[in-house]
Amino acid sequence: MAAEFRYKKLGYVALNATDIEKSAAFYENMVGLDPVGVGAQGEHFFRCSNDHHNIVVYPSDTGGLKRIGWQMEDDANLDLAFDHFTEIGLNPQWIDKAESDALQQGRTFRLVEPNSGATFEYYAAIMQFIPNFSQKVTKIARLGHVVLTLKNFEKAKPFFIEQMNFRVSDYIEGSIAFMRCFPNPYHHSFAIGGGDENRLNHVNFMVTDIDDIGKGNVRAKHSQVPIVYGPGRHPPSDSIFLYFLDPDEVTVEFSFGMEEFPEENPRLPRMLEPSLDTIDYWGGFPDPRFAAKGPIEKAG
């Protein structure tokens, strides 16, 4: 059976934090998410849309990635995905209703993505708030993308295309592949890069205004948040970016401007030149702490 299920979007990213109060304050005041509440495990829910959550921060002994939540187009596509993942031996498991209720989500299943060891979660329904995200600190348009660094980049790339139904928008041969979760139009909701170990590379929020980048830059400096790359401009996408570190040194990105792809007859992926000029038109280069930390929680 082909991977023909349809995604709605990257739904949420669950992160681990060693100092939950410090991280909760960072995601509210530095990133600018709206706090939604605290769950039974001490996890803090945040949103930047009408969804109940787009980021969840869990208290843990190690900071980094806990899981990635994918919202499917509807329940029928959720079931198609479940059947496909079962057929290819990924052993997806529905979570208990008590747990999906606590997440304010409809039916939800999880599996271990075999290249990264990361937990991927799938659901279609999530509780919606009527009042929109406040945008009081940052005019975030959406949770943008999540990027993983993978030891086995070459093997992982076809897996995500063929088995996860992602489409490559652009790539840098042997090092980065930017992917959209079909048929979501955004240039990338997910990307993988090659590296020395499997880890979370960064989590991105798309902002609506260049002022959000500038204000974020000033806010980071005033609150001793390390800026590890930018502000700069990525030539391939023309997007303006700023990367900074959360309290566990996980890299967080603000960017604005992203190409959208039609579902039918999209342009072909480009193979981009692997040079720093490809990455920052303004000539900046990343700090060594950029995307250096982000351990992936092992399932179970």
Q: Give the shortest CB-39-to-Fe ion separation in angstroms.
A: 28
* Rounded distance between C-alpha atoms, residue 189 and residue 11, angstroms: 10
Shorter beta-carbon distance to Fe ion: residue 100 or 204: 204
To Fe ion, the closest distance from the beta carbon of 146 in angstroms equals 9
**Nearest-approach distance from CB 271 to Fe ion, in angstroms:** 19
Closest separation in Å from C-beta 12 to Fe ion: 17
Residue 140 is encoded by which pair of tokens?
A: 């975030």
The site for Fe ion, by CB under 5 A, has a size of: 2
Span interacting with Fe ion, options 60-68, 179-187, 217-225, 246-254, rule CB under 5 A: 246-254
Closer residue to Fe ion in complex, CB, 253/280: 253
Of the pair 110, 139, the CB lying nearest Fe ion is at: 139
**Pairing, β 93-94 against β 108-112:** antiparallel
Instruction: Name the maximum alpha-carbon separation found in the chain.
Output: 53
* Min separation Cβ 202 and Fe ion, Å: 6
Instruction: Sketch the per residue contact string, 21 through 40, with Fe ion: x for CB under 5 A, - otherwise.
Output: --------------------
**Strand (E) or helix (H) holding 17:** strand 7-17
Nearer to Fe ion, 3 or 147 (CB): 147
List of residues 6+ apart from 165 with CB closer than 8 A: 3, 4, 5, 6, 7, 181, 182
| Least distance (Å) between residue 143 CB and Fe ion | 12
- Among the listed ranges 62-70, 119-127, 171-179, 247-255, the one in contact with Fe ion (CB under 5 A) is 247-255
Q: Residue 156 carries which side chain, given as an amino acid letter?
A: A
Give the CB-nearest residue to Fe ion.
204
Residues 1, 83 contacting (CB under 8 angstroms): yes
Nearer to Fe ion (CB atom), residue 59 or residue 193: 193
CB closer to Fe ion, 66 vs 234: 234
Distance (Å, rounded) from C-alpha 251 to C-alpha 291?
5
For Fe ion, the closer CB: 121 or 253: 253
Structure tokens at 78: 């959720």
Task: Tell me, letter by letter, the H, E, C secondary structure of 42-88.
Answer: CCEEEECCCECCCEEEEECCCCEEEEEEEEECCHHHHHHHHHHHHHC
Cα–Cα distance between 177 and 154 in angstroms, integer? 10
* Interactions with Fe ion, residue window 192-211 (CB under 5 A): 204
Q: How far is the CB of 147 from Fe ion (least distance, A)?
A: 6
Q: Which is nearer to Fe ion, 108 or 189 (CB)?
A: 189
291 in helix, strand or coil? coil
Q: Cβ of residue 279: shortest distance to Fe ion, in angstroms?
A: 10
Pairing mode of beta strands 239-245, 176-181: unpaired
Q: Which of 43, 113, 212, 253 binds Fe ion (CB under 5 A)?
A: 253
Which residues here bind Fe ion, judged by CB under 5 A? 204, 253
